[in-house]
Amino acid sequence: MKAYQLRLEGETPRLISTELPDPKPAAGKVVVRLRATSLNYRDLMILGCGYARGANHPVIPLSDGAGEVVALGDGVTRWQAPDAYDYLQNGAHFGKVVVSVH
C-alpha cells in the first residue's frame, strides 16, 4: 500500500512516498481502507519538526480519515466489511490503516 513518511535527513525533514506491506489486524482491531484523509495543524508541526522532534523516524503524518472496514481481527463483532468507519489517531496512510475498536 502507498504511505507517506516524514524522514529526517540531518535537520531537514523530507516527505517521502513509499510502499509498505498491507497491515494485518490484531485481536480487537480492524483494517480500514482509506477513502479520505486530511492534513491538520499537528501534521504541519510534524513536517516542521516542531511536534515530533523526539519521535522515532520515519513518522507517518496524517491523523484522521474515513473509509470502509476491509479486515477484522479476532474478537471483533461490532463491525463487518464493508462498514463505513471514521477515526482519529496518529499515523494514518493513504491506503489502509489498523485501528482499535471499542
Give the CATH number, domain containing residue 34: 3.90.180.10
Note the pLDDT tens digit of each residue in 54-97. Answer: 566 777 777 778 889 999 999 999 889 988 888 766 554 556 66
Note the pLDDT tens digit of each residue in 18-33. Answer: 898 988 999 998 988 8
Predicted pLDDT at 87: 73
Largest Cα–Cα distance in the chain? Answer: 46
**Other CB atoms closer than 10 Å to residue 25's CB: what's the count?**
21
Q: Are 24 and 48 spatial neighbours (Cβ–Cβ below 8 Å)?
A: no
Domains of the chain: total = 1
Place of cell 495543524: 41
Note the pLDDT tens digit of each residue in 29-49. Answer: 898 888 888 777 777 776 666
Query: Domain range holding 74?
Result: 2-100
Predicted pLDDT at 45: 74
